[in-house]
Amino acid sequence: MTLVSIIFAGILTYFTRMTMVALISRDMLGDKVKAVLEYVPSAVFPAIIFPGIFINDYGTFIEINDPKIFGALVAVIVGYFSKNIIATILAGLVSYWFLIFVIFS
């Protein structure tokens, strides 16, 4: 039973990946649409970033002094200047750990 659901979920997911690549040709998208599509990364990824920082595992908002906010700010600053993915992730994690294990412990 669960396997059938997984297969359906998989087919649905595959269709989300395949539809635009395989069934749409470039001529079907006008210049205006293409110009808007330039913004796709900036328009999609914050929907993963913001809830990942501001909403906890129980689906409620975090407090304003939550260590995740500080960690994310450090990651933004380090990422902006270093242009390095590993440095960005580590800076965010380490500053978050510093707060939860050293300061708030």
Partner 1 sequence: MLSKKQLFTRGMLDISPHMLSVIPFGIICGAIGVELGFNPYLVYAMSFIIFGGASQIVFLQLLSGGASSLVAVTSVGIINSRHLLYGAVLSEYLEKLSFIKKLLISYVIVDQGFAESNKFFKKNKSEEYLHYHLIGTGCTMWVCWQIATLSGIILGSFVPEELGLKFAIPLTFIAIVVQDLKKIDHVIVMITCGLSSLLFFDAPFKSYIIISPVIALFVASLLLRLKK
Please name the residues in contact with 61: beta carbons below 8 A apart, sequence gap of 6 or more. 54, 55
Q: Residue 63 Cβ, how far from partner 1 at the closest point, in Å?
A: 15
The owner of tokens 């920082």 is 53
Closest to partner 1 by CB, 85 or 103:
85
Closest to partner 1 by CB, 22 or 103:
22
Residues in the chain: 105
Closest to partner 1 by CB, 42 or 65:
42
Angle CA 95–101–102, to nearest 5: 80
Q: Residue 7 Cβ, how far from partner 1 at the closest point, in Å?
A: 6
Per-residue H/E/C for 76-102: HHHHHHHCCHHHHHHHHHHHHHHHHHH
List interacting residues with partner 1 (CB under 8 A).
1-10, 12-14, 16-22, 24-26, 29, 32-55, 59, 61, 68, 71-72, 75-76, 79-80, 83-86, 88-90, 92-93, 96-97, 100
Q: Residue 102 Cβ, how far from partner 1 at the closest point, in Å?
A: 13
